[in-house]
Amino acid sequence: MGQKIHPGGLRVGVIHDWKSNWYTSAKEFPQYILEDVRIREHIYRKLAHAGLSDILIRKDKQRITVDIYTARPGIVIGKSGVEVDALRKELHAMTQKNVHININEIKRPELDAKLVAQSIAEQLSNRVAFRRAMKRALASAIRSGAAGVKIQCSGRLGGGEMSRRETYNEGRVPLHTIRADIDYGFVEARTASGRIGVKVWINKGEIMPEGFDSVTSGGDVRLGDQDARRRRGGASEGLGASRESSRGRGPDREGLGPVKRRRAPGGPGGPGGTGRGRGAGGGGQGRGARPGARPAGGGRAAQLRHRDR
């Protein structure tokens, strides 16, 4: 119960690719893994202020290719490429192999979970109210086109004595839907009262297999947009829709069918007619009266005789 799995690891091999691509024998396997760990730790430590999102590594026998995804490529490259050259020399000294570095810019950092978590963590470190930081990031991601966002902060929020957890979400974040492209990021904010963990999940829509014809006729419209459109005020369904549409319309009542019109208390039981009540109307036989029964108001003598018994 309550066991969580990394959304990226769950989708590796289905819609996501591995972040390290190389092949080696079982004897050299541990060395290659430790080499990857050291490369990533060194880059994250050296370029912590550059808004790094992801690092992909590809290896040959004598060559390492590192792809760095960042929101601030100018800081990573440096003036006339000084910073990236220094980084290349440091990695070459660590691995003793030829290193090639590719810098890729992230066009929309509001839709990258790692960058959103970093932004919230920086605001928490600068003593910004955690609710304001979370809501601002949530609104920015939804405005940029995300199908759903969930943000969670845990720790001594607001400097409180007891740690607690706060979560804000909007839209759909289906963690068990494998074809849903869900980005996940985790960053720790260092504050005066301790560390606060920030987790961000962003649903970027659904990645469908090749040759799949979408149900919608809107071309490249994501399936997740159908629910998002309904949540944002599109055509609604169910009891809520019938309740809205029934205003000013008598026959339909909340989608439950036409209402039977009630008859007036006097009814059609006039003189000589058949009323629905127990008594007879003006000499006519009532529907509820027993056959052969004495008419109502049957004389003063009968009432006195009954009382004398």
Q: Residue 77: which CATH number?
A: 3.30.300.20
Are 140 and 107 in contact by the 8 Å Cβ rule? The answer is no
* Strand order across the beta sheet in which 20-21 lies: 20-21, 52-59, 63-70, 98-105
> What is the residue whose two structure tokens read 């979370």?
134
Are 89 and 46 in contact by the 8 Å Cβ rule? The answer is no
Helix 113-125 / helix 130-143 crossing angle, nearest 10 deg: 150
Residue that terminates a domain, selected from 153, 175, 208: 208
Q: Are residues 63 and 114 in the same domain?
A: no
Give buried/exposed letters for 74-83 (b at 16+ CB in 10 A, else e). eebbeeeeeb
CA nearest to 157, candidates 199, 193, 110? 193
Residue 128: both structure tokens together: 């910004």
> What is the residue whose two structure tokens read 């400097």?
159
Tell me, yes or no, whether 156 lies in a domain.
Answer: yes
Tell me, yes or no, whether 54 lies in a domain.
Answer: yes
Tell me, yes or no, whether 256 lies in a domain.
Answer: no
Please say if the pLDDT value at position 157 is more than 60: yes
Q: Are residues 82 and 95 in the same domain?
A: yes
pLDDT in tens, 213-259: 544 434 444 444 443 343 344 443 333 333 333 344 444 434 444 44
Whether the CA torsion 278, 281, 283, 286 is positive or negative: it is negative
Percent of the chain with pLDDT over 70: 67
Q: Are residues 93 and 121 in the same domain?
A: no
pLDDT in tens, 97-126: 999 999 999 999 999 999 999 999 999 999
Q: Are residues 155 and 191 in the same domain?
A: yes
Helix (H) or strand (E) holding 181: strand 180-191
Q: Are residues 84 and 114 in the same domain?
A: no
Q: Are residues 128 and 89 in the same domain?
A: no
Alpha carbons 258 and 244: distance in angstroms, whole number: 16
Q: Are residues 122 and 187 in the same domain?
A: yes
Confidence tier at 304 by pLDDT (50, 70, 90): low
Residue that terminates a domain, selected from 59, 88, 107: 107
Q: Are residues 75 and 115 in the same domain?
A: no
Tell me, yes or no, whether 35 lies in a domain.
Answer: yes
Tell me, yes or no, whether 174 lies in a domain.
Answer: yes
Alpha carbons 267 and 278: distance in angstroms, whole number: 13
Tell me, yes or no, whether 235 lies in a domain.
Answer: no
Please say if the pLDDT value at position 172 is more than 90: yes
Tell me, yes or no, whether 290 lies in a domain.
Answer: no
pLDDT at 135: 95
Residue 133: both structure tokens together: 């930081």
Per-residue pLDDT averaged across 53-74, rounded? 93
Q: Are residues 94 and 124 in the same domain?
A: no
Residue that terminates a domain, selected from 169, 192, 208: 208
Number of structural domains the chain divides into? 2
pLDDT in tens, 179-191: 999 999 999 999 9
We report the CATH number of the domain holding residue 154 as: 3.30.1140.32
Alpha helices in the chain (DSSP H): 7-11, 29-46, 73-77, 82-95, 113-125, 130-143, 224-231, 239-245, 300-308
Per-residue pLDDT averaged across 267-274, rounded? 49
> Which positions ≥6 away from 110 have C-beta within 8 Å?
116, 137, 140, 141, 143, 144, 146
Tell me, yes or no, whether 99 lies in a domain.
Answer: yes
Amino acid, single-letter form, for residue 203: N
Q: Are residues 103 and 128 in the same domain?
A: no
Owning domain of residue 48 = 18-107
Q: How far is CA 170 from CA 58, 105, 142, 177, in A?
A: 36, 27, 8, 17
Q: Are residues 125 and 174 in the same domain?
A: yes
Are 125 and 190 in contact by the 8 Å Cβ rule? The answer is yes
pTM of structure: 0.67
pLDDT at 307: 62
Q: Are residues 57 and 144 in the same domain?
A: no
Query: How close are the terminal C-alpha atoms of the chain, in Å?
Result: 80
> Which positions ≥6 away from 90 have C-beta within 8 Å?
42, 46
Q: How far is CA 214 from CA 15, 50, 145, 147, 172, in A?
A: 18, 39, 19, 17, 19
